[in-house]
Amino acid sequence: MSFYGVTDLWTYVVGALGIILLPGPNSLFVLSVATVRGVKAGYQGAMGVFVGDTILLLLTALGAAGLLRTYPALFMVVKYAGAAYLTWVGVNLVIAAIRKWRSHQPMQAAAEGAVAEASAHLQQPFKRALVISLLNPKAILFLLSFFVQFIDPAYETPAVPFLILSAIIMVFSAMYLSALIFAGARLAQGFSRRKRLSATLSSAVGGLFVWFGAKLATASLN
């Protein structure tokens, strides 16, 4: 029994929710942007994630995972480009945090300078979030292996269940990123008065981006 070509709908819903809640570079970047630059910039980053996810979903439907498996060299190029970009973002955040920590300016000036310096590495949140989303070939492979389990191969119009599954995961993503954006905006109020705490957390976020880059660099097609 399927729902418009979707088999075991509620199992998919639970699985999709779990996937969205797993920490990753997309959600971490949106949270960082919202914390440093506010709600508007946070949603710009979220839009970059939405567009990137939509492109990945379309590529998955068109068989991009099969292409990456057929041409391992292409997979290696995309993989290392993504790893390098995530590492570059992380290193910049760590450097900005170290400079913030060492600053001996008066508190108000230091806070303003820290925000300005951190913002320099979080400019153009839409474009950066889009690149972070797209430069992850493992996401394409994962989407294919996850989606195919819930699509009835006998259904006459495969696009219908694919759209239903895509819509569910995109709604969950929008809700989760919205929660992160408003949480980040709230955190910003406290960070503006606690320069060293802000620097410590910024360096931790940068370290996580470097870790994400290392994980992607060692990813395989299996």
Mean pLDDT calculated for residue range 45-55: 92
d(CA 38, CA 32): 9
Would you state the pLDDT for residue 1? 61
DSSP assignment string, 23-40: --HHHHHHHHHHHHH-HH
Would you state the pLDDT for residue 48? 93
What are the residue boundaries of the structural domains of the chain, listed by start? Answer: 2-217
Q: Is the pLDDT of residue 22 over 60?
A: yes
Per the CB < 8 A criterion, the answer to whether 131 and 88 are in contact is no
Report the chain's mean pLDDT, rounded to a whole number. Answer: 76
User: Pick the residue with more confidence: 112 or 176?
Assistant: 176
Per the CB < 8 A criterion, the answer to whether 209 and 87 are in contact is yes
Contacts of 9 (CB under 8 A, 6+ apart): 3, 150
User: Pick the residue with more confidence: 50 or 154?
Assistant: 50
- To 10 degrees, what angle do helices 39-61 and 125-134 make? 30
Q: Which residue has the tokens 């992607």?
A: 216
Mean pLDDT calculated for residue range 104-127: 55
Least confidently predicted of 71-80, 82-91, 102-111:
102-111
103-109: list long-range contacts, CB under 8 Å, 24+ apart: 103/195, 107/193, 107/195
pTM over 0.85: no
How sure is the predictor about 43, in pLDDT bands with cuts at 50, 70 and 90? very high
Mean pLDDT calculated for residue range 111-130: 64
Least confidently predicted of 65-69, 86-90, 119-123:
119-123
Least confidently predicted of 40-44, 175-179, 207-211:
207-211
Read off the DSSP letter of residue 151: B
Tell me the β-bridge partners of 6. 3, 151
d(CA 77, CA 102): 38
How sure is the predictor about 221, in pLDDT bands with cuts at 50, 70 and 90? low
Would you state the pLDDT for residue 134? 86
How sure is the predictor about 178, in pLDDT bands with cuts at 50, 70 and 90? very high
